[in-house]
């Protein structure tokens, strides 16, 4: 029950974050180049992702569970630590927060200046390609998370449910507001996803290596809590480093020229 709830929550969060990013791209294309090429690109991107999930899903179920958990655990750790590192850097001020409104503005400016060329099947090649790439690239990571989480827990449909719920929720909100979802706490969500992916990666990767966790599946809760504490400590530490560095720079800037170190 614990693992199933975490499974749906993790897939939902990861998928919601990626959906928000894909929505920004599709909205920028739709409002500047027209909705037909944008929606054609979305449909083509979703079709490719569906083929990836349908082709790889049954193949993953055939692999022995320990080998699957070892490989998947390692890959989830690679993903999770990437998300976590960026989230820690953003939370501590070393990296500017992800801003959907400014990304949307950049996408709109680029779409306005691009020339229009019509294909045989698509109304506007530029609009189609940008929407297609946006959906496919943002969706590949989600497809991987859906497949690996689902295969590890023995329930790909449950993982797909979490992903579909997220896409429907983000699309519905995007359709209503007709603007990039700048108010979604995306940085906090990315922090949470980074913690979840890292915790699942440690849990499954270790199990795949032959470890028996004390307390069985309940240990996952402790690993999630531990990963969260490590990430929060990293944020606190980097904030202090940043404050000290800023103070040093202010002190250096205040010194007369020629006496600076």
Partner 1 sequence: MRALRSFLIIIYDLLVGDDWTTAVGIAGGLALTAALVASGVAAWWLMPVVLPVLLTVSLYRVIRRSDRHPS
Q: Which residues bind to partner 1, rule: CB under 8 A?
A: 70, 73-75, 77-79, 81-82, 84-85, 88-89, 94, 137, 140-141, 144, 198, 201-202, 205-206, 208-214, 219, 223, 226-227, 230-231, 233-234, 238, 241
> Shortest gap between Cβ of 175 and partner 1 (angstroms)?
30
Largest CA distance in the chain: 70
Concatenate the DSSP letters of all residues of 149-181 into one string. Answer: HHHHHT-HHHHHHHHHHHHHHHHHHHHHH-S--
**73/127 with CB nearer partner 1:** 73
Identify whether the C-beta of residue 180 lies closer than 8 Å to the C-beta of residue 26.
Answer: no
Cβ neighbour number for residue 152 with a 10 Å cutoff: 24
**92/107 with CB nearer partner 1:** 92
Report the distance separating Cα 17 and Cα 12, nearest Å.
9
Report the distance separating Cα 190 and Cα 1, nearest Å.
24
**27/202 with CB nearer partner 1:** 202
> Shortest gap between Cβ of 173 and partner 1 (angstroms)?
28
Identify whether the C-beta of residue 150 lies closer than 8 Å to the C-beta of residue 41.
Answer: no
**25/27 with CB nearer partner 1:** 25
**55/176 with CB nearer partner 1:** 55
Q: Token pair for residue 212?
A: 């028996």
> Shortest gap between Cβ of 77 and partner 1 (angstroms)?
5
> Shortest gap between Cβ of 168 and partner 1 (angstroms)?
26
> Shortest gap between Cβ of 113 and partner 1 (angstroms)?
24
Q: Which residue has the tokens 């939902």?
A: 12
């Amino acid at each position: 029950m614990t693992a199933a709830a975490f499974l749906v929550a993790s897939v939902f969060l990861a998928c919601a974050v990626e959906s928000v990013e894909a929505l920004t791209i599709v909205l920028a294309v739709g409002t500047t180049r027209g909705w037909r090429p944008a929606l054609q690109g979305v449909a083509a991107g979703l079709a490719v992702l569906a083929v990836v999930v349908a082709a790889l899903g049954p193949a993953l179920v055939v692999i022995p569970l320990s080998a699957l958990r070892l490989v998947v655990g390692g890959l989830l750790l690679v993903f999770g630590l990437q998300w976590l590192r960026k989230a820690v850097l953003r939370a501590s001020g070393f990296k500017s927060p992800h801003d959907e409104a400014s990304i949307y503005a950049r996408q709109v400016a680029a779409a306005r200046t691009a020339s229009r060329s019509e294909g045989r099947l698509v109304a506007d090649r530029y609009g189609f390609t940008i929407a297609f790439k946006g959906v496919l690239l943002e969706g590949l990571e989600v497809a991987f998370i859906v497949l690996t989480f689902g295969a590890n827990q023995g329930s790909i449909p449950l993982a797909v449910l979490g992903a579909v719920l997220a896409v429907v929720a983000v699309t519905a909100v995007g359709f209503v507001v007709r603007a990039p979802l700048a108010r979604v706490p995306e940085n906090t969500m990315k922090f949470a996803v980074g913690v979840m992916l890292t915790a699942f990666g440690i849990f499954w990767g270790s199990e795949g290596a032959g470890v028996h966790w004390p307390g069985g599946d309940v240990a996952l809760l402790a690993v999630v809590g531990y990963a969260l504490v490590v990430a929060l400590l990293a944020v606190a530490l980097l904030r202090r480093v940043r404050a000290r560095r800023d103070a040093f720079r202010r002190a250096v800037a205040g010194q007369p020229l020629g006496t600076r170190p």
